[in-house]
Structure 1
Amino acid sequence: MDNFIICSGFGGQGVMSMGQILAYSGMIESKEVSWLPSYGPEMRGGTANCSVILSDEPIGSPVITNNATVLIAMNLPSLKKFQDSLVENGVLLVNSSLVKEASDREDIKVYKIPANDLAHEQCANLKVANMVMLGAYLEISKSLKDESVLHGFLKIFGERKADLLPINEKALQVGREYIKNNY
């Protein structure tokens, strides 16, 4: 299993924490992992992306150039910037709440997930849109267990944010259910 994942969006959309959760979850499941963040000039509101590799084999380089197997694009600039990094038959998860354009690639699998709308309507918290997308990814890839992801969440945010675990768990389930019911 090799997943070369790019998570990208505006600062403040939780793309870095999504990547960290993926990496920690992979470690919990004894996978080889790497997490490489990249920030724009501003944090909140600027561009942000990270590369995550989950593998059963040692990882030679944490850099993902034109070999991404998955792109999670939370906004239009992310889609435009990274869609060409996907390999043939790669997976594109796009936040269709913010991205109205379709990908011009016909050789990839595209999943349109209205993450912001689902987070607002079903979780009453727009801040968990990243976890909705993460849940959708987990349902598509079957790469990690929810228990590992929730444990990874606690590793990153600590016990001081443990009260946010239920809403994030719900958001993961909302993303999973959206994929089950629509794809």
Structure 2
Amino acid sequence: MRWKRDSAAWEDEFRTFVAHSRPSLLRAATLLSAGNSHRAEDLVQTVLLRMYLNWRRIRAGTREQYARKILTNAHIDDRRRSHTRHEEAYAEPPDVAVVQPAPTDPDAAVFRALAELPPRMRATVILRHVLDVSVADTADALGCSEGNVKSQTAHGLDRLRAALSESSPDETRGPAVPTPTEARRNHT
């Protein structure tokens, strides 16, 4: 009988965590997936499933950090699978090749620029500058050194800046990508 009470208590804690953290996880997953909302939902579900299965072992003070680490690893693992890079499922194949029109809104330009970054570099930039995670916590989430995080962040910001500056003027009115100097001032 005792395990049933304990089960209800931790499941209530988990539900509370999900209600509180899911929006920020979904936002981060959307950025990691370069705007692909379906892939972002899959990433968040992967995170929540893994956390649910290990909930009793996760310390209360580290749950957010644990979720970020799982999200980052799930993103990188998913990008390593060759089938996700080359095939997309459709209900019926189109009769004519469909050319997607280039979106003109700022979010689309940022998502396209993010999609050009390698998965680990994209994860580093998003953890550091969107989620405002420290260098040490980002290194822990990615399983690399702090110097690697700093290097990946600087290179990622340079590549984003270059990709966004090549976009048309209408597309670059969105969120500005800080220079490495501005980034250091804002996050050190």
More helix by share: 2
More strand by share: 1
Query: Under a length normalisation based on structure 2, what TM-score does the superposition of the two structures give?
Result: 0.31
Which structure would you say has the larger Rg? 2
Query: Under a length normalisation based on structure 1, what TM-score does the superposition of the two structures give?
Result: 0.31
